[in-house]
Amino acid sequence: DPALIYDLGGKFDKSFNEAAYGGAMRWVEETGGSYKELEMQSEAQREQALSRLAESGANPIVMTGFAFGDVLNSVAPEYPDTKFVIIDMVVDQPNVRSIVFTEEQGSYLVGMMAAKASKTGTVGFIGGMDIPLIRKFACGYVQGVKAANPDAVIVQNMTGTTPSAWNDPVKGSELTKAQISQGADVIYAAAGGTGIGVLQTAADEGILSIGVDSNQNHLHPGKVLTSMVKRVDNAVYESFMAGEAVEPGIAVMDLAAGGVGFAMDDNNAELVSEEMKAAVDEAAAKIIAGEISVHDYMSDNTCPVE
């Protein structure tokens, strides 16, 4: 059986981990198969979780989150016959498939939408744990905002410096209020479970928010502008489908491959004007065509625009 390990935010974070869960469920529905899953409770459990699943014969073992990188590096050689799939991190081992996303591209698109939807000209970004990966989100977002409105002001906050930043809705909510008081009227939350608090408060306070990873539009219908979907579900689904034959190496899920994008559905139909949609679609096409290149923060740990 395949197995899936969720990171600290937990399976039902309505975001990153829940997307992975969705992929697994899709696989279950289609194949009728069963899989094992595990939620991390603490940093120190990662190694045990990995080796225990490997020990139990699970194959492949999919894990969500960069934080598994270090332990996977040491566990993978112990179980050469087991295939591991890690999302959001590159681990160079012969039996590991590393899946990474071009979050900067998706963030660019929702950034454009944010700039267009904003009435105040100020938009916000709330990140989870302050790590290069999340800065990558932020950088793409900023580029998109500036592309749509070069005069826009962007307020940025990170929730924290430890993994608990992924699961701190109270802090998310307070940061949202702070950004609103600074004039932000569209806020993009790239913060896992913390984002629940961001979206909630944005809805309460009557401004727009942008979800992340999963399609979060339904959480507050008519209040969530869109979601930067990162098809973690597809990554999990495909890995499960491939089973033990999953191919080691690095897989980049980009806009062209449908790995990232923005969500449109009934819940946000009224928020997105024809014009806005057309502009974003056009930008997407240009990115795919290579006419627009969105800078990847992690390529040089800097962002060209602030």
Partner 1 sequence: MDKLPAWADIVLVPLISLLLAAVISAIVILAIGQDPWEAVRVMVQGALGSSYGWGYTLYYTTSFIFTGLAVTVAYHASQFNIGGEGQAQIGGLGVALVCLAVPWPHWTLALPAAMVGAALFGAAWAAIPAYLQAKRGSHIVITTIMFNYIASALIVYLLVEVLRPAGQMDPATARFPAGAALPTFKDIPGLNLIFDKKVPANVTFFIAIAACFAVWILLWRTRLGYQIRAYGKSERAAIYAGISPVKVIMIAMLISGGLAGMMAINNVMGEAERLLQNSAEGAGFIGIAVALMGRNHPLGVFLAALLFGFLYQGGAEMGLWTSIPIELRLLLQGLVILFTGALDNMVRMMLVPFFRNRAKEAA
Partner 2 sequence: MDYATLIQVLDSALRLATPLLLACLAGLFSERGGIFDIGLEGKMLMAGMASGAVAFLTGLVWLGVGAAIGASILFSMIHGLASITFRGNQLISGVALNFLASGMTVLIAQALFRQGGRTPPLTGNARFSPIDLPFAEAMADVPIIGPLYAEVLSGHSTLVYVALLAVPVTWWVLYRTRFGLRLRAVGENPESVDTAGISVVRLRYSALVITGILCGLAGAYMATALQAGFGREMTAGRGYIALAALIFAKWRPWYALGATFLFGFLQALALRPDVIERSFGMAIPVPALDALPYILTVIVLAGFVGKAIPPRAGGQPYVKER
Residues in contact with partner 1 by CB under 8 A are: 36, 38, 41-45, 47-48, 51-53, 55-56, 66-67, 69-70, 74, 78, 131-133, 161-163
For partner 1, which is the closer residue by CB, 5 or 147?
5
Among 131, 153, 178, 256, contact with partner 2 (rule: CB under 8 A): 178
Taking CB within 5 to 8 Å according to partner kind, which of partner 1, partner 2, none is near residue 44?
partner 1
For partner 1, which is the closer residue by CB, 51 or 149?
51
Among 25, 26, 36, 39, contact with partner 2 (rule: CB under 8 A): 39
x/- binding map, residues 182-221, to partner 2, per CB under 8 A? -----------x--xx--x---x--------------x--
For partner 1, which is the closer residue by CB, 69 or 221?
69
Enter the tokens of residue 138. Answer: 């932020």
Is 43 an interacting residue with respect to partner 2 (CB under 8 A)?
Answer: no
For partner 2, which is the closer residue by CB, 11 or 277?
11
Is 160 an interacting residue with respect to partner 2 (CB under 8 A)?
Answer: yes
Q: Measured between alpha carbons, how far is 178 from 186 in angstroms, rounded to an integer?
A: 13
For partner 2, which is the closer residue by CB, 185 or 238?
185
Taking CB within 5 to 8 Å according to partner kind, which of partner 1, partner 2, none is near residue 171?
partner 2
Which run of H or E residues covers position 167? Answer: none
Residue 305 Cβ vs partner 2, minimum distance, rounded to whole Å: 19
For partner 1, which is the closer residue by CB, 158 or 212?
158
Is 170 an interacting residue with respect to partner 2 (CB under 8 A)?
Answer: yes
* Size of the residue set binding partner 2 (CB under 8 A): 24
> DSSP characters for 227-248?
EEEE-HHHHHHHHHHHGGGPPP
Enter the tokens of residue 39. Answer: 């939620």
Residue 206 Cβ vs partner 1, minimum distance, rounded to whole Å: 35
> DSSP characters for 244-278?
GGPPPEEEEE-TTTTSEEE---TTTTTTS-HHHHH
Residue 253 Cβ vs partner 2, minimum distance, rounded to whole Å: 25
Is 169 an interacting residue with respect to partner 2 (CB under 8 A)?
Answer: yes
Listing from the earlier edge strand, what are the strands of the sheet with 61-64?
36-39, 3-6, 61-64, 84-87, 96-101, 249-253
Q: Measured between alpha carbons, how far is 75 from 77 in angstroms, rounded to an integer?
A: 6
The dihedrals phi and psi of 186, each to the nearest 5 degrees, come to -140, 130
Among 82, 173, 209, 215, contact with partner 2 (rule: CB under 8 A): 173
For partner 2, which is the closer residue by CB, 12 or 285?
12
Interface positions with partner 2 (CB under 8 A): 10-12, 39, 157, 160-161, 167-171, 173-175, 177-178, 181, 193, 196-197, 200, 204, 219
